[in-house]
Structure 1
Amino acid sequence: MRAARSFRTAASGWRLRAVAPIGIFRTGACTLPGSMIKQRDIDVRKQEGREAVDKEEAIRAEEKARLVEVLGVIDRRLRKELSVLGNRRGDVVGIRQEFFDDVSFNFSDATELGETWSSIVQQAELLAERERSHRVASTSVERLAWQHDNPYFARIDFVEESEGAEGASGGGTAAAGKVESIYIGRSSLIGEDGETFYIYDWRAPVSSLFYDGEPGPVSYETPGGMASGTMTLKRQFVIRGGVLKHVFDTDETIGDDILQAVLSERSDTSMKSIVATIQKEQNRIIRDEKHKLLVVQGAAGSGKTSAALQRVAYLLYRYRETLTPEQVILFSPNPVFKGYVSRVLPDLGEANMRQMTFRELIEARLGRRWEVEDLFAQTEELAATSGTAEGESREAAARYKGSEHFFATAGNYLERLKKSGVRFRPLRFRGETIVSAEEMAARYYGELGHEDFGERLIKLRRWLNGRLNGWIESQIGEAWLEEAAELASEEDIQRTYVQLRREGGFHDEAFDDEDRMTELLLRRVAENSIGPLRKAVKGFRFMDPMATYRELFRSRTLFTACAPDGKLPPRYEWMVLRADETLGRKIIDHEDATPLLFIMEALEGFRKVEGDVKHLFVDEAQDYSPFQAAFLRRRFPHARLTVLGDFNQAIYAQAEESGGFGGWTRLVAEEDTAVWRLTTSYRSTRPIVEFSKRILRPEDAEGISAFNRDGEEPSVRSCRDNRELAEQVAAKAEELLAAGYATIGVIAKTAAECGDASALIKERLPDKTPVTLVTGGSAKLPPGVSILPSYLSKGIEFDAVLVWDASAARYGREQDRKLLYTVCTRALHVLNVYCVGERSPLFGSDQNGSDQKGLDREVETR
């Protein structure tokens, strides 16, 4: 016989840790058969189970009753707002239809004209006020509608110290009647009395307890200081369509049950709000108000972009009196990503911040005058010339021109340009030089030499307009001008006549009206003729930034004098030849675009600087060169920076030597900088995360962990050729769509491969299957099958990813490692990798030399 090794008594009866399968258990004078003890333990467990079920049912009943009450409040408020919205809509329509009926028109004299104008302004103001009221009511109706669907997601019970928290720390009834139940949702809901809070906004100070605290003593920061107390309960909900689906009590920051439920959902074509699943470390990022620079290094799928968008929403809520969405800018990696995140803020009840790509910033200033290569075109060319001398030189140039060394060189060059070197373009008309480049330079460095760049250019522009005025005077009486006046349009003649009447012409005492009419018409025709010159002067186009920038590469002596270490960069001679070839044809390589824009805007006095921008967010910041980072800091000088990225997804040549986020952290003082690291990947299943980690070097993969969400193992399959590859990918895509997966990403390395893949896959899928070829100009990610190049997949996620040809021929170099990792980490639930021939060596082998876990499913189809 073998007795139990330990036991303990409880009020509910016996509970054994280890029970002998047969025999008896002896304790003191009591001898009980083992079967009786076992039966008593079973009875105790059943009783505890019944109590647990009863408790759970009581909790659900309580929360259902509370939900019904809240939905009733929302329903009443919604009906009221709908009535207001209907009335406001009717007011707007009525005012628009009767606008001119309610305005008195009288143009008989100046007094009547003033009264008529005043009447129009009053009617316009009334219309504007009604339209504003309509927008407010419409926004309120929209908010209440999604509140009715999902009013809140959490509850905490909290007792403030001042309210007698003593005795409540154990969660008992000592604080009965003093516990405040705080329900937390995407937006607040206040009762009609203006005092009852049915729901607290997730951004409210007290809501931080849900994200950061656990039951027990807690504190949180308020505008008036720290508030302390005891949290006696922490509960989470899943509510869909106004129906309570799940209730979870938890001691954790965010319970795994909720995370499992959310992360297991199918993907959508737009990013979702994560306010119900914000983790503690993410909450710190969202609510940081102290630092001027916030750097977030996060593993793929760690929620850094989601946290950044919630941070925007938090800042707009926290500083709603002083901060507007127009004062917040998010730099996105590509247009597809812009569309992908466009719904997050509206879903939180906030207007979208300004969004742009770095490409759009470049295009706005340079694209109207010159042909500018974008980052994706550069990437395609580097891929096409990989392994050649030309390709290696281009990569070296891209790396150098994005470096801090070159930014310092450009800065030193600007200092020299204060004394000499700025190039100008002459003003010419019909072959005649009105103002020469030499005259402009003489004035720029002579009379204006003591001014700053911007002031010099403004005063030079004023001077040039004066010279143009003088030139017009000199042309009066010239034959070409008289011939042009004879061909003047009816519109010019009519405008000249009106101008003369305003100046007092064509009245009884006038005797030289015809001569004055002719003179005015000649001046008007001359002014129209030099209109393009006036426009060029207004836009500072008399200054030649491209020629000024080219000069830096035309003189070795000049370059070494400007370089901080007095040295030429590697492959400098190649850069000189490339600059002569491209810039000479008014074509700007991507690596030259930011330095050229920096020189141009500095010479213009940074007249486009956006000093009113208070917050600048940069996603995929690891792909920005140090030069680009410094340029953005100069362009948005007063903005606080939040930069997000992942070293392991730095896929562009310009950022290969950036040293991680060094280009950003050196922009702001250390004491004003905070660096946060997010290491847990929530996007993908554990098998996908583990599979992707093994693509990285061990030192880069260190620290990355997966949230415990199971799924199928990724697979690597080999094919004979592209046609067989297309057959397998098409069959798998059809299977996944039939299984309910909404978004399937077929990711190839380059755009050229995507074109081939799209044609081959469409041939093999039914016509009704949605297949979209995503390009650099795409602004929206549609449902169905999306075929896109690797660099456009950044920041996006799919239910399933099918990697197109991850062979040794396509991903065989060390510099392809991070690109392959980026592609594989786009998958939420399913990852299948296909290769034509030998698979990429970057998948590697484990320590035993065998294929990695996840690669043992390779299917040979030869």
Structure 2
Amino acid sequence: MVNESQSPREEEEKRLLVVLEQVSRRMRKETAVLGERRGDVVGIRQEFWEDVRMNFSDSSEVAETWTSIVQQAEVLAERERSHRVASEAVERLTKQFDSPYFARIDFAEDGREAETIYIGRASLLGEDGETFYVYDWRAPVSSLFYDHEPGPAAYRVPNGEIDGEMTLKRQFVIRGGQMKHMFDTSETVGDEILQAVLSEGSDTSMKSIVATIQKEQNFIIRDERHKLLVVQGAAGSGKTSAALQRIAYLLYRHRETLTANQIILFSPNPVFKGYISHVLPDLGEANMRQMTFRELIEARLGRRFEVEDLFAQTETLAAIDGTAEGDARERSVKYKGSDHFFMTVANYLKRLEQGGVSFRTLRYRDMTIASAEEIAERFYAIEASDGFATRAANVKRWLLERIKAWIESQMNEKWLEEAAELVDQEDIQRAYVDVRRSGGFHDEVFDDEDQMSQRLKRKVAEDAIAPIAKAVRSYRFIDAVATYTALFESRPLFASCSPDGKLPQGWEWMSLRAEETLGRKRIDHEDATPLMYLSEALEGFRRVEGDIQHVFVDEAQDYSPFQAAFLRRRYPRARMTVLGDFNQAIYVQSQESGGFGGWTRLMAPEVTAALRLTTSYRSTEQIVEFTKGILAPEDAVHISPFHRIGELPMLIPCEDAGRLSERMTADVTELLGRGYGTIGVITKTASESGDAAALLKERLSGDVPLTLVTGGSAELPKGVSVLPAYLAKGIEFDAVLVWDASSERYGKEKDRKLLYTVCTRALHILHVYYTGEASPWLPRSGG
């Protein structure tokens, strides 16, 4: 019975002790198991060969020895699995002892009494195997907490919906096994909890948000009806956090059929990859596969070509901005990322079914093994209806046979005999073993020597031709670069493939540029995705990853329509979740794509959902209102601040870069002294970052940690980080100091969203410094 003299707080603290005792008991048991398993593993490893019966006297003994080794290895593997399971259990229970749950709901199903349900990061089952002390936040019943306030409520289960009434909704902040805060709330997630969490300092890695998930985020996390989910969210609205919780939910919901390796997340840069890498392990799940689009390009093209990445392209465009070359390159970047160009390349591929694919001649020294003309004849002798995949695979098999025949044709050639005479002792010993295994070295001495000679020559020939055979197996007999370049060498060809029969503005410049760069094995970033698409199509998309069930794309507004369509083609069976903010479209390739580069057109409308997150939780109300003022009014209308009060942003005029660095040095020192652990000094370009870091390092005391963050950085350090705008995407800092937001640096219309992106990285403090005139996009209401 409930003791009426106890307050709700006292009752909850008493109940917390009961749960902690359960966790403690489980931890003692699992720790004991872990110790046993560790001892078993160490013992088996130490005694592995002692317990294996070794005998190689005849074939039956060899088989028995092999069986003994396999059995011992299986025992070791089983003990290692048990050790890993026990270790994971101890780790999970350690986290539960720190904070076993964060919410309580009392819910009465229609016609039944109310049941009390506590919700945490992981479930906790009693020793009887039936009592649930804590429900996992991903369990169906837990959605009540995120979606409803007290009153009529319902939650979905696999076979329908359960209706009832929520009679109580309570939230907790528990740290170190101690109840710090407790609130009863009538909102989906109470403002008090959000205030407490959002007021905390930033860290060098993203945190889990399971205790503060909002209703609209919960829909994103649990939606399984749609194959394509497109989320437009204001800066700081929790897009990425919701995506990571969605991954955790999917792994929990489909744990029998889905693994982390079947989920891939495309991140905007390596820094962001490290920033979010702790969220899923914190929830007890393995990390999904994670990569940047740049890494995808590098894996496909980077071994044979010098490939420009998006950041280098951005720096180049900034350096030639306002010149005739800059204007021409910008037009090319926009066009080659467009839907129009994707359709042009798709139409070109249809034409290539009948003819026009370029091939490479297979040649060793001055000897032709198969000419480009022969390969083309073989390729196009196969019916077009069979598709590129069948044609390419057939030609590959034919070429490998051709290589074998060529080796045989060279067996009596002088060059091969001379090369065979120069082989080392190890190759001679291998040839000896091969002849002996084949029954040689008996009476026919001369025949044995001849066999040795033949095997040595064949080995030399195979080694010589091995790079060509490897290239054939990788389909490099198809010259994708020449085939792609051909599209820009003929006006009539391009116009015939164009969906409207027209050439793009600046086509002549693009033609000369393709000849210049591709001819020197250099690939501009805007050519990389079209070239990958053409290359993989000609090979029959043999590299598509059909085992991937879910693709997540963060900062989706930065992808061109061409890149979006390519990803859809590369992962044909996957459901897609794409998240972004069209107010942060900072790259030229996507600035005219309507925000999401055609993502919503990738799948049929009936399986597509487009959602909007409008509340910005990251920054204080003062910072959100300030950054809204940077945008055009029509772009800012859907952004609402969460009511967290803080300091006004500051606009700080400076005479020159020297004075700017002096003022910023003083502010950095003061902010660190006030306890702000992460400070981002954000510049427009990478070269500017280098200059800013040098100036600040010169003036700051030696004990202040300052890091220049580059495109190759994988982790965000504590202290002061100096980085260019495009590396700050998706990351947040306690304080952001914007380096030289002058009219000269951020004066053009295309700079407006870049400046907005930079300023929205701030949680608590925003200082904007400038020399000369301030950017026209900056509101004049700063402090």
Where do residues 574-653 of structure 1 align in structure 2 (5 Å cutoff)? Answer: 574-653=509-588
Q: Once the two structures are aligned, what percentage of the paired residues are identical?
A: 70
Distance in 1 of aligned mates of 2:517 and 2:443: 65
Amino acid of the structure 1 residue aligned with 2:578: V
Aligned to 2:654: 719
Where do residues 697-736 of structure 1 align in structure 2 (5 Å cutoff)? Answer: 697-736=632-671
Aligned to 1:143: 92
Aligned to 1:540: 475
Aligned to 2:688: 753
Amino acid of the structure 1 residue aligned with 2:472: V
Deviations 1:79-130 (A, max 9, x none): 1111111111111111111111111111111111111111111111111111
Aligned to 2:44: 95
Deviations 1:619-652 (A, max 9, x none): 0000000000000000000100100000100000
Rate the CA distance shift 1:521–1:450 in 2: closer, same or farther, 3 A: farther
Distance in 1 of aligned mates of 2:761 and 2:10: 41
TM-fit CA distance, 1:56: 11
TM-fit CA distance, 1:509: 6.5
Distance in 1 of aligned mates of 2:362 and 2:133: 69
Deviations 1:569-616 (A, max 9, x none): 010011011111100100000000000000000011111101111110
Aligned to 1:75: 24
Residue 120 (str. 1) matches residue 69 (str. 2): yes
Aligned to 1:853: 781
Aligned to 1:762: 697
Distance in 1 of aligned mates of 2:763 and 2:295: 30
Calculate the TM-score normalised by the size of structure 2.
0.98
| Aligned partner of residue 585 in structure 1, secondary structure | coil
Rate the CA distance shift 1:504–1:403 in 2: closer, same or farther, 3 A: same
TM-fit CA distance, 1:325: 0.3
Aligned to 1:808: 743
Amino acid of the structure 1 residue aligned with 2:247: V
Amino acid of the structure 2 residue aligned with 1:89: R
Where do residues 506-525 of structure 1 align in structure 2 (5 Å cutoff)? Answer: 506-508=441-443, 512-525=447-460
Where do residues 650-661 of structure 1 align in structure 2 (5 Å cutoff)? Answer: 650-661=585-596
Where do residues 542-561 of structure 1 align in structure 2 (5 Å cutoff)? Answer: 542-561=477-496
Aligned to 1:160: 109
| Aligned partner of residue 355 in structure 1, secondary structure | strand
| Aligned partner of residue 832 in structure 1, secondary structure | strand
Do the aligned residues in 1 keep the contact of 2:201 with 2:734 (CA within 8 Å)? yes
Gaps spanning 5+ residues in structure 2: where? none
Amino acid of the structure 1 residue aligned with 2:10: A
Aligned to 2:270: 335
Distance in 1 of aligned mates of 2:242 and 2:97: 25
Do the aligned residues in 1 keep the contact of 2:262 with 2:547 (CA within 8 Å)? yes
Aligned to 2:153: 218
Distance in 2 of aligned mates of 1:606 and 1:803: 45
Aligned to 1:487: 422
Q: Whose RCO is larger (CA < 8 A, sep 6+)?
A: 2
Do the aligned residues in 1 keep the contact of 2:653 with 2:770 (CA within 8 Å)? yes
Q: 1:104 aligns with which of 43, 53, 65?
A: 53
Rate the CA distance shift 1:386–1:762 in 2: closer, same or farther, 3 A: same
Amino acid of the structure 2 residue aligned with 1:626: P
TM-fit CA distance, 1:162: 3.0
Distance in 2 of aligned mates of 1:57 and 1:334: 53
Amino acid of the structure 2 residue aligned with 1:799: D
Aligned to 2:706: 771
| Aligned partner of residue 181 in structure 1, secondary structure | strand
Do the aligned residues in 1 keep the contact of 2:560 with 2:597 (CA within 8 Å)? no
Q: 2:605 aligns with which of 665, 670, 688?
A: 670
| Aligned partner of residue 680 in structure 2, secondary structure | strand
Distance in 1 of aligned mates of 2:497 and 2:382: 26
Amino acid of the structure 1 residue aligned with 2:536: E
| Aligned partner of residue 549 in structure 1, secondary structure | helix
Distance in 2 of aligned mates of 1:506 and 1:162: 91
Amino acid of the structure 1 residue aligned with 2:519: G
Distance in 1 of aligned mates of 2:265 and 2:365: 47
| Aligned partner of residue 106 in structure 1, secondary structure | coil
Amino acid of the structure 1 residue aligned with 2:26: R
TM-fit CA distance, 1:451: 3.0
Where do residues 209-248 of structure 1 align in structure 2 (5 Å cutoff)? Answer: 209-248=144-183
Where do residues 156-555 of structure 1 align in structure 2 (5 Å cutoff)? Answer: 156-163=105-112, 178-447=113-382, 451-508=386-443, 512-555=447-490
Distance in 2 of aligned mates of 1:56 and 1:219: 33
Distance in 2 of aligned mates of 1:56 and 1:402: 69
TM-fit CA distance, 1:510: 6.8
Distance in 1 of aligned mates of 2:322 and 2:68: 74
Amino acid of the structure 2 residue aligned with 1:787: V
Amino acid of the structure 2 residue aligned with 1:101: E
Distance in 2 of aligned mates of 1:83 and 1:448: 67
Deviations 1:205-247 (A, max 9, x none): 1101101111112111112321111111100001111100111
Deviations 1:261-296 (A, max 9, x none): 000000000000000000011111111010000010
Do the aligned residues in 1 keep the contact of 2:564 with 2:597 (CA within 8 Å)? no
Distance in 2 of aligned mates of 1:761 and 1:254: 42
- Which deviates more from structure 2 when the two are superposed, residues 475-484 or residues 61-70? 475-484
Distance in 2 of aligned mates of 1:240 and 1:138: 22
TM-fit CA distance, 1:661: 2.5
Deviations 1:441-495 (A, max 9, x none): 1111124655311111111111111111111111122111111111111121111
Amino acid of the structure 1 residue aligned with 2:489: R
Please say which structure displays the higher CA radius of gyration: 1
| Aligned partner of residue 617 in structure 1, secondary structure | strand
Residue 821 (str. 1) matches residue 760 (str. 2): no
Deviations 1:314-345 (A, max 9, x none): 01011111110001000000000000000110
Do the aligned residues in 1 keep the contact of 2:559 with 2:596 (CA within 8 Å)? no
Amino acid of the structure 2 residue aligned with 1:670: P
Q: 2:82 aligns with which of 133, 143, 151?
A: 133
Do the aligned residues in 1 keep the contact of 2:232 with 2:581 (CA within 8 Å)? yes
Regions of 4+ moved over 6 Å: 54-57
Calculate the TM-score normalised by the size of structure 1.
0.90
Distance in 1 of aligned mates of 2:740 and 2:597: 34
Distance in 2 of aligned mates of 1:216 and 1:681: 28
| Aligned partner of residue 82 in structure 1, secondary structure | helix
Distance in 2 of aligned mates of 1:308 and 1:384: 36
Distance in 2 of aligned mates of 1:451 and 1:284: 44
Amino acid of the structure 2 residue aligned with 1:134: H
RMSD: 1.3
